[in-house]
Copies of this chain bind each other. A is one copy, B any other.
Amino acid sequence: MVVRRADVARLAGTSPAVVSYVLNGGPRTVAPATRARVLAAVESLGYRPNGVARSLRMNKTMTLGLVVPDTANPYFAELARAIEEAAFAHGYTLLIGNGAEDDERQTAYVRTFLQRQIDGLFLVPAHGTPSCLPDLERARTPWITLDRQVAGTTDIPAVLVDNRGGARTATEHLLEHGRRRIACIAGPEDVYPATDRVAGWRDAIADAGLPAAETSVLNVPFGRHPGYVAARRVLSERIVDAIFTASDEQALGALRAVTELGLRCPDDVAITSFDGIAAAAYATPALTTMSQPFGELGRVAVSRLLTRITDPEGDTGISVLPVQLTARGSCGCPDPPGGDSNDDPAGAATSEEAERADT
């Protein structure tokens, strides 16, 4: 509109094609003198290539889509930041969508993104079977699932963490502290990581030879408020001495419930949870939680998606990353001073080639 490539060519006394060669460093070589003239013209005119035209021609947008169930949820916010970090390092930009735990809206975003010709998609599927599956199938756009699997499928590429093992570790840690009546505040019944985390809790309970108190499993949404409500219920109805929650957010809510009921954490009720969001380190007491490797998650997810972009059939497995017990005060361990987390959820860049294909 304002200044096109042809203008640059004219000023530099050459042809538009040559301008491209200079700016893109190829595919053909250009004489140093011409090159200098082109660069000068670009500078003086303030020419900036039109990315849309380029995308149309190149058939790639250098844009990745990310659809999560709730952008404002700290866990997804940290996950998004990690993805963004890794994508940026590879020269990709992120289109972000808030599915709002609603299939219809999630599908609306996926469709819009597909239409905008994103090169690849990260999806944290809402509960149930996403109605956008057919669209994704037809579009041939590489996509990969994050944090959750699509219900009932096992052949869709995914990057997950060891939910079952982590939940088991978290529960065992409560057992080691001598707790015996451990309730489980789980996620929604039909959401993948919830079921696996419940399974891990069950594993630990069973191994300890404890009765599987089914009534001690509360299926509520992830999030502070559901955690708060569930904790109030389980604490007033049952005699428990510990709670394992499926998310830090729920744990934060539970912590609040414990205090409101005049109980003390960890003395009366110990808590361990899952995720390792930054806020967990600043609660009082600080939360003992299974920390997810956000930085690694982002790097693996981006790296795998990019692989699938160049080779749509390749890299089709499921990555399961380990989680790590971060012992703090809520389980009964000594409570370290605030801010023991490294405060850098996205992690530092790795030695991977950081290539920015876009100029």
Q: How far is the CA of A226 from the CA of B74 in the complex (A)?
A: 19
Determine whether A190 belongs to the interface, using a CB cutoff of 8 Å to chain B. no
Most chain B CB neighbours (cut-off 10 Å) among A72, A96, A252, A284: A72
* Residues from 276 to 314 in A contacting B, C-beta threshold 8 Å: 278-279, 281-284, 286
Task: Collect the chain B residues with CB atoms within 8 Å of residue A260's CB.
Answer: 337-338
The yes or no answer to A63 lying at the interface (CB within 8 A) is yes
A319: interface (CB < 8 Å) = no
In the bound complex, CA of A358 to CA of B77 (Å):
27
- Whether A101 sits at the interface, judged by CB under 8 Å, is no
Task: Report the separation of the CA atoms of residues A345 and B337 in the bound assembly, to the nearest whole angstrom.
Answer: 31
CB distance from A284 to the nearest CB of B (A): 5
Given A77-B72, A358-B112, does the pair A339, B225 have CB atoms closer than 8 Å? yes
CA distance A109 to B63 in the complex (A): 13
- Copies of this chain assembled into the complex: 2
* Chain B residue, CB-CB nearest to A66: B96
Q: A98 near B: Cβ within 8 Å?
A: yes
Give the residues in chain B near A93, CB-CB below 8 Å. Answer: 95, 97, 109, 112-113, 116
B71 touching A81 by the CB < 8 A rule?
A: yes
Q: Is A239 part of the contact surface with B, judged by Cβ < 8 Å?
A: no
In the complex, the chain B residue whose C-beta lies closest to that of A356 is B108
CB-contact partner of A72 in B78, B112, B117, under 8 A: B78
A139 near B: Cβ within 8 Å? Answer: yes
Known: A77-B77, A256-B284. A52 touches B56 (CB 8 A): yes
Binary interface encoding of chain A residues 120-158 relative to chain B, with 1 for a CB under 8 A from any of its CBs, else 0: 000000000000000000111000000000000000000
CB distance from A303 to the nearest CB of B (A): 19
Nearest first, the 4 A-B pairs at minimum CB distance are A256-B338, A72-B81, A77-B77, A51-B116
Query: What are 16 inter-chain pairs, A to B, with CB distance below 8 A?
Result: A46-B138, A48-B139, A49-B115, A52-B117, A56-B56, A72-B77, A72-B80, A72-B81, A72-B345, A72-B346, A96-B96, A112-B358, A115-B358, A228-B339, A256-B286, A257-B338
